[in-house]
Chains A and B, each alone.
Chain A
Amino acid sequence: MSAHAPILAIAVPLLGGFATPLLAKLHKRIRDLWVLLIVLFVGVAVGYVAVHVFTQGIWVYVLGARHPQETVVSGGFPIRIMLVVDAMGAFMGVITALMALVAFPAALKYLPEEEGKTLALTLGSLLLAGIMGMAYTGDLFNFFVFLEVTSIAACALIGFRTWTSRAPEAAFKTMLLFSVSGLLFLLAVAFLYGEYGALNLAYVSVLLRGSAVDRLALALFLGALLMKAAAAPVHFWAPDAYGEAPAVKALLLVVNTQVSLYGLWRVLFTLYGGILDTTVGWLVVAMGLLTMVVAAFMALAQTDLGRLVAYGAVSQIGYMLLGVGVGLVTMSGRPDYGLVAMKGGIFHMLNDALTVGLLFLCVAAVELVKGTRDLRELGGLGHGLPEVALFFLVASLALAGIPPLNGFASKILIYEGSFRASPILAAVAVLTSILLLAVFARAFQGAFLGPRVNVEVRVPWPILVSMGVLAVGILILGLVPGFFVEAMVTPAAKALWLGRSLYLSAVLGG
């Protein structure tokens, strides 16, 4: 069993997701138990893979062969589909599993039965499978397939509430943009296949010469993945999608965005690592700055709590783009500060998942209790829901990068790394954080402070437990960040920044 952990982490949620509606016919309790089992299994498998990868190096899993060596036939040509999990992929898997473990138990209590809970759980499970596939695959075409799996599952979840008019609208717009980006990704894969006759990421990477076709493919990859990762100015779908999806499921959408970012890093560092020049790095940095600033200002202009949090989430993507972008810019010289910025950007993915996840759960709780998310009508909820208010406060401060919470730990790495690249970058990042603090202070004041209002509905305990887990995670990551940075983030950053040759030799041998 344990030798097949990487593929099981993808296959179990995929097949289990399709089995969920059948089990729901038997009994609702069996279905709930089944979904929890799937998520627990993914958690265990991902944990096992992560421990293995962080202690023993890259795990190459080949489908249809007993040993990785049987894949590469004479002439170094790989013939089978493979999963390649390096430290960065394992790190992404850990984030995904963590968010799934938090989101699904909360979703079991949050989604009403009559609103198609079974189908929402199925879609969530499929989305989980797609995300895990994107994180673990070592094959370009498989990456495209999992990209489309996440697109379809995510958009079906966004437009899930068909009885409202806003949700289908958000879903249609998102789906249209996701489809275009997916098709252009496939076109880029086809370019590379036409030139090199291979789909294996490592093998293509070895062969890449930097011809005009390669560069055109790079441009298509970049456009497609930047869109899926919600970088400004192609981020327009993200606030709609995050805001309109059932708030508990928005956690998985955030992870979906992050895994697209991961795909972008994989393409830039591993696939094109040999021929990349700094222009692309500066493009990523510029779009990162634009994303964080535009999204923070837009968050200031919002009156809907869900949409405000959604814009806050988009602005955090800018920080990840900035951090890793600085790493890209400095990849040729490899100065220390480049690695610091990379670490910050990658650490911020984990921190962002926790803080934004907690904020969305708070939005879900507020919506459940008051039935509205309009900040002009909300107020005084802190008296009736002190726990939710506390959680929202912690998450807001973490998102705005206030020490000693986790957001600051990753942001200080980004600040210092990007300061050495150019002080302007760090200045913009710090000022945006201050603006975000103002935005979330506003949201906290509007929703939770003020004269007491009566609260009839209680927040179900699984949602509170999920929130508590995330809040404790925020505190732990904030108070002892060194442990996690040493154990997971530094290997992940090094796997991208320095580990290209390791990745290639792990797959192709030699």
Chain B
Amino acid sequence: MTEAIKIETGQGYWAPLIFVVALLGVLILAVLIWSRGRREYKRGTEQELPFLSGEKVENPRVGALHLYWGLAEALRPLLERLRGWHSGNINEYAGWFLVILAVVVLLVLA
């Protein structure tokens, strides 16, 4: 039975059911703390509106590209280069295949 619930990883083991029990414990604790919180939240008032730098925005919507915007912005030079690499030109794709083939031939024959 013990084999069925855990997997050996060489240096230890991973037992998801124990993890789930621990996770439930933490969740219960979180709910307890949350239930002792302040009860001023009112539905249907302007408390429901998202806080966007204190400004009122018509029809606020946080799209996919707004999330992790900073990360994507910081990585922009890298991402642009990678996008340029995926150029869509079939000649380049075939060229990369030849490059890999050459590398493999050199590695294997050496």
A and B touch in the complex (CB under 8 A): yes
| Residue of chain A at shortest CB distance from B12 | A416
Candidates A239, A416, A449; contact of B9 at CB < 8 Å: A416
Q: A443 touching B11 by the CB < 8 A rule?
A: no
Name A426-451 residues within 8 Å CB distance of B: 438, 441-443, 445-447, 449-451
Q: In the complex the two chains form, what is the Cα distance from A438 to B19 in whole Å?
A: 23
1/0 contact trace for A211-243 toward B, CB 8 Å? 010011011101100110000011011010000
CB–CB A479/B20 < 8 A: yes
Q: How far is the CA of A485 from the CA of B19 in the complex (A)?
A: 18
Give min CB distance, B89 to chain A, whole Å: 9
Q: Is the CB of B108 within 8 A of A438?
A: no
Q: A219 to chain B: which residues have CB within 8 Å? A: 101, 104-105, 107-109
Distance between Cα atoms of A280 and B7 in the complex (Å): 29
Which of B6, B10, B93, B105 has a CB less than 8 Å from the CB of A420?
B10
Q: Is A201 among interface residues, defined by CB-CB distance under 8 A? A: no
Cα distance A180–B103 in the bound complex, in angstroms = 17
Count of chain B residues near A, Cβ 8 A? 50
Q: In whole angstroms, what is the CA distance A480 to B19 when docked? A: 12
Q: Closest residue of chain A to B80, judged by CB?
A: A301
Of residues 79 through 107 on chain B, the ones whose CB sits less than 8 Å from some CB of chain A are 79, 82-83, 85-86, 90, 93-94, 96-97, 99-101, 103-105, 107
Q: Is A502 an interface residue (CB 8 A)?
A: no
CA–CA, A273 and B75, complex, Å = 42
Q: Are the C-beta atoms of B65 and A303 separated by less than 8 Å?
A: yes
Interface string of A171-183 (1 = CB under 8 A from B): 0110011001100
Closest chain A residue, CB of each to CB of B93: A236
Collect the chain A residues with CB atoms within 8 Å of residue B68's CB: 300, 438, 441-442
Contacts of A303 in B (CB 8 A): 64-65
Q: A141 → chain B, closest Cβ, in Å? A: 21
Mask of B1-44 contacts with A, CB within 8 angstroms, 1/0:
00111111111101111011001000000000000000000000
B54 within 8 A of A: no
B57 near A: Cβ within 8 Å? no
For B14, give the chain A residue with the smallest CB separation. A412
Complex Cα distance A73/B99, Å? 43
Q: Which chain A positions have C-beta within 8 A of B78?
A: 297
A480 touches B94 (CB 8 A): no
The proximity string for A residues 267-309 relative to B, scoring 1 for CB distances below 8 Å and 0 otherwise, is 0000000000001100100000000001001101101000000
Chief secondary structure at chain B's binding surface:
helix
Bound CA span A483–B15, Å: 11
Query: Does B62 have its Cβ within 8 Å of any Cβ on chain A?
Result: yes
Q: Which residue of B lies closest to A214 (CB)?
A: B108
Residues of chain A within 8 A (CB-CB) of B82 are 294, 297-298, 301
Q: Is B71 in contact with chain A by the CB < 8 A criterion? A: yes
**Chain A contacts for B110, CB-based, 8 A:** 279
Contacts of A300 in B (CB 8 A): 68, 71-72, 75, 79
Tell whether, in the assembled complex, residue B93 and residue A216 are in contact, meaning their CB atoms are under 8 Å apart.
no
**Using Cβ atoms and an 8 Å threshold, which residues of chain A touch B64?**
303, 375-376, 378, 442-443, 445-447
Contact A223 B100 (CB under 8 A): yes
CA of A295 to CA of B108, assembled, Å: 26
CA distance A297 to B89 in the complex (A): 20
Q: Does A133 contact B (CB under 8 A)?
A: no
**Can you name the residue of chain B whose Cβ is closest to the Cβ of A294?**
B82
The answer, among B15, B17, B75, B94, for a CB contact under 8 Å with A180, is B94
Given contacts A420-B10, A479-B16, A481-B14, contact A450 B61 (CB under 8 A): yes
Cα A301 to Cα B69 with chains together (Å): 11
Chain A contacts for B12, CB-based, 8 A? 416
A6 located at the interface, meaning its Cβ lies under 8 Å from any Cβ of chain B in the complex: no
What separation, in Å, do the CA atoms of A404 and B96 have in the docked complex? Answer: 39
B6 to A451, Cβ gap below 8 A? no
Beyond the given pairs A340-B9, A404-B20, 9 more chain A to chain B contacts, judged by CB atoms under 8 angstroms and listed by A's residue number, are A222-B104, A222-B108, A233-B85, A280-B108, A298-B86, A403-B16, A441-B67, A442-B64, A486-B3
Please list 18 pairs of residues, one from A and one from B, whose beta carbons are closer than 8 Å in the complex, sorted by A's number.
Answer: A218-B108, A222-B104, A223-B100, A223-B105, A236-B86, A239-B86, A297-B79, A297-B82, A301-B72, A301-B82, A303-B65, A376-B64, A404-B20, A416-B9, A445-B64, A447-B64, A480-B4, A482-B4
Interface positions of A (Cβ within 8 A of B): 172-173, 176-177, 180-181, 184, 212, 215-216, 218-220, 222-223, 226-227, 233-234, 236-237, 239, 279-280, 283, 294, 297-298, 300-301, 303, 336-337, 340, 375-376, 378-379, 403-404, 408-409, 412-413, 416-417, 420, 438, 441-443, 445-447, 449-451, 478-483, 485-486
